[in-house]
């Protein structure tokens, strides 16, 4: 696959040239998030730093609903918020304080990702719920970039259950989520239903690339996914 240009409406290419594909409002992930393009990484003399990985690994047999991926049913869910576009995401555990752009799908059905020259930005999948609405809001971001090095979600795999993620919204409200689990899934076993499937509670999914890096394919083999539930 040829490297991508630095436009929001292109699929990610280069180091991780594998796109998501969406069908209507429901996303059908064929090969999951493409991640950041590390175009020209082979020309670097020093090895690129490797992102931390979550302790929990999920194999092909674990792509259905799992207890660790579900919110703790320890009381009534917080009241859902009305729809409003997210503006920033803050994750204290890994030092993230980033702006969020709205993303949709490309004409070929692949999910858009932030431009490679703006790899410090996160992207919200706008056809889905907004953070705080009932359902699973999805925020994606690059793990690294040849232009910028470590990107917005480079350290996503270091997050732990109980950590918090706060998303500020255009309506002035902040939606705070508590992490239920952090897992790494092979890209050919992406848990589509867990990420994009329906939910009767407000949830958040944060997705980037991870796992082993395939030098030949210039691509990470896994996706790191944070599953979180609204707490306030």
Residues 50-59 pLDDT 10s: 898 887 665 5
Buried b (16+ CB within 10 A) or exposed e, 53-81: bbebebeeebbeeeeebbbeeeeebbebb
Tell me what the mean pLDDT of segment 24-30 comes to.
37
Tell me the percentage of the chain whose pLDDT exceeds 70: 71
Domain spans, the chain: 81-103+117-230
Q: How many other CB atoms sit within 10 Å of the CB of residue 215?
A: 9
Q: How many other CB atoms sit within 10 Å of the CB of residue 47?
A: 8
Tell me what the mean pLDDT of segment 8-31 comes to.
36
**Please, are residues 121 and 100 in contact by the beta-carbon 8 Å criterion?**
yes
Tell me what the mean pLDDT of segment 96-118 comes to.
90
At 48, is the pLDDT very low, low, confident or very high (cuts 50, 70, 90)? low
pLDDT of residue 171: 98
User: Topology of domain 81-103+117-230, per CATH?
Assistant: Sortase; Chain: A; (2.40.260)
Structure tokens at 211: 């796992």
Query: What are the residues facing 202 on neighbouring strands?
Result: 135
Tell me what the mean pLDDT of segment 38-66 comes to.
52
Residue 52: burial class (beta carbons within 10 Å; 0-12, 13-18, 19+): middle
- Mean pLDDT, the chain, integer: 77
Residue 201 has pLDDT above 90, yes or no: yes
pTM of the model: 0.78
At 4, is the pLDDT very low, low, confident or very high (cuts 50, 70, 90)? very low
pLDDT of residue 29: 36
**Range from 28-32, 149-153, 200-204 carrying the lowest mean pLDDT:** 28-32
Show Cβ contacts of residue 74 under 8 Å, excluding neighbours closer than 6 positions: none
pLDDT of residue 105: 87
């Amino acid at each position: 696959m040829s490297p991508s240009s630095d436009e929001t409406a292109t699929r990610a290419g280069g180091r991780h040239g594998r796109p998501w594909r969406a069908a209507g409002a429901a996303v059908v992930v064929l090969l999951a998030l493409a991640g950041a393009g590390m175009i020209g990484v082979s020309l670097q003399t020093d090895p690129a730093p490797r992102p931390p990985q979550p302790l929990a690994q999920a194999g092909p047999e674990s792509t259905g609903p799992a207890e660790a991926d579900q919110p703790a049913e320890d009381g009534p869910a917080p009241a859902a918020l009305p729809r409003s576009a997210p503006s920033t995401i803050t994750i204290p555990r890994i030092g993230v304080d980033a702006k969020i752009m709205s993303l949709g799908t490309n004409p070929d059905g692949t999910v858009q990702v932030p431009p490679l020259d703006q790899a410090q930005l996160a992207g919200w999948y706008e056809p889905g719920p907004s953070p705080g609405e009932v359902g699973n809001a999805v925020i994606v971001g690059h793990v690294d970039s040849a232009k910028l090095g470590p990107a917005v979600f480079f350290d996503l795999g270091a997050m732990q259950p109980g950590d918090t993620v706060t998303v500020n919204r255009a309506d002035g409200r902040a939606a705070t989520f508590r992490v239920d689990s952090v897992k790494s899934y092979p890209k050919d076993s992406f848990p589509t239903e867990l990420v994009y499937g329906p939910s009767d509670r407000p949830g958040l999914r944060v997705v980037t690339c991870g796992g082993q890096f395939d030098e030949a394919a210039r691509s990470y083999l896994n996706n790191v996914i944070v599953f979180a539930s609204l707490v306030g």
